[in-house]
């Protein structure tokens, strides 16, 4: 490692680099993440040859509030814990409210695809208590002219958390000397194929502490590598919006081989036109691994391979079709 090359060709030299860049939800058109979170961390790591683990496992939260905001505000699972019901446009229940996230997300996705819509009805369970008990959800709804005390909340699955990323050991160390990763850009294996709610916060705290302790106590100084010549290109707004639409269409809650191949072809075409931007590298890694996993497991569901089959993790070394490391 040589350090970090930033926009504007500014370089920060260092023999140790810690990636803490967040997730990849911004690659999808509907996400609860900041739209800037486009998998840059694990894409950069792939460029320098780091091992990437489980990039196909993207968790979709089932109940993002569908009011046209980007990122989408979240209708917390605590609402269903209070007794709110997931219903379609006719007010009919179609999934167990407290089923696992992936099950609820797929059911909502399919109900919306069928044209019946999906809503979270908390009128009876919460009603007048909304402003006091769920002020954030209440404010988000009211900002769109929707009063959840008297009307169901329109919902949609949204890219929420990435279980994949830079493969690390229990100290946060990647397969590349001098490169460490922590938080959502890392794949420690702690979350398996379907993260449990809030475990990511604990994971980030524990691994950040471990990395800091390891670097503090390690006297070894790695030699600096030669500086990289150029930074990867930045994806402009137009092609980035196109990328988000195609990932939403073909790498969403329910996937199949034909859609994943179609999306990979589109990403390849974007790369040919706009260069190997980090968002495109991250998308290629997610799509390639999803296409290679011929089973359904946790957050990864293939309609053409609906059964659980192979228990192994997925590892990718290096960026697909990427230029030299930056």
The catalytic site residues sit at 101
Helix axes 257-274, 278-292, angle to 10 degrees: 160
125 — phi, psi (to 5°)? Answer: -70, -35
**Torsion over CA: 319, 322, 325, 326 (sign):** negative
- The position carrying tokens 């030669």 is 226
Cα separation, 142 vs 136, whole angstroms:
10
For residue 83, give the 3-state DSSP assignment: coil
Tokens linked to 175: 């397969």
Contact between 87 and 196 under an 8 Å Cβ cutoff? The reply is no
Paired tokens of 204? 């980030």
| Residues 182, 172: Cα–Cα separation, whole Å | 6
Phi-psi region of 64 (alpha: psi -120 to 50; beta: other; left: phi over 0): beta
Buried b (16+ CB within 10 A) or exposed e, 73-106: bbbbbebbeeebbbbbeeeeeebebeeebbebbb
Given the DSSP bridges, would you call strands 186-187 and 165-167 parallel, antiparallel or unpaired? Answer: parallel
Dig out the tokens for 257 from the structure: 């081989």
Asked if 159 and 28 touch (Cβ cutoff 8 Å), the reply is yes
> Is-contact 162 128, C-beta < 8 A?
no
The closest alpha carbon to 241, from 108, 70, 65, belongs to 70
Residue 270 belongs to what H/E stretch? helix 257-274
């Amino acid at each position: 490692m040589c350090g970090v090359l930033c926009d504007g060709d500014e370089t920060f030299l260092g023999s140790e680099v810690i990636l803490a860049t967040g997730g990849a939800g911004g690659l999808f058109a509907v996400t609860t993440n900041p739209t800037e979170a486009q998998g840059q961390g694990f894409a950069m790591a792939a460029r320098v040859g780091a091992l990437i683990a489980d990039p196909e496992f993207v968790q979709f939260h089932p109940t993002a509030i569908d009011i046209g905001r980007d990122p989408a505000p979240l209708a917390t699972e605590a609402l269903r814990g209070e007794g709110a019901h997931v219903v379609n446009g006719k007010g009919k229940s179609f999934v167990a409210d407290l089923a696992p996230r992936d099950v609820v997300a797929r059911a909502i996705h399919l109900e919306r695809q069928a044209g019946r819509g999906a809503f979270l009805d908390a009128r009876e369970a919460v009603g007048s208590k909304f402003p006091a008990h769920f002020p954030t959800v209440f404010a988000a709804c009211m900002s769109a002219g929707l009063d959840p005390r008297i009307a169901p909340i329109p919902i949609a699955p949204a890219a929420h958390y990435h279980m994949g990323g830079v493969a690390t050991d229990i100290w946060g160390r990647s397969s590349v000397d001098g490169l460490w990763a922590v938080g959502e850009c890392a794949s420690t294996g702690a979350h398996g194929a379907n993260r449990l709610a809030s475990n990511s916060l604990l994971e980030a705290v524990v691994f950040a502490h471990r990395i800091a302790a390891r670097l503090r106590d390690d006297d070894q100084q790695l030699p600096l590598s030669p500086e990289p010549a150029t930074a990867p290109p930045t994806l402009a707004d137009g092609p980035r919006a196109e990328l988000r639409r195609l990932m939403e269409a073909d790498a969403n809650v329910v996937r199949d081989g034909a859609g994943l191949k179609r999306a990979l072809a589109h990403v390849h075409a974007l790369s040919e036109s706009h260069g190997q931007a980090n968002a495109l590298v991250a998308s290629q890694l997610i799509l390639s691994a999803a296409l290679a996993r011929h089973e359904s497991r946790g957050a990864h569901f293939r309609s053409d391979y609906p059964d659980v089959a192979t228990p192994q993790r997925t590892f990718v070394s290096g960026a697909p079709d990427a230029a030299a490391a930056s």
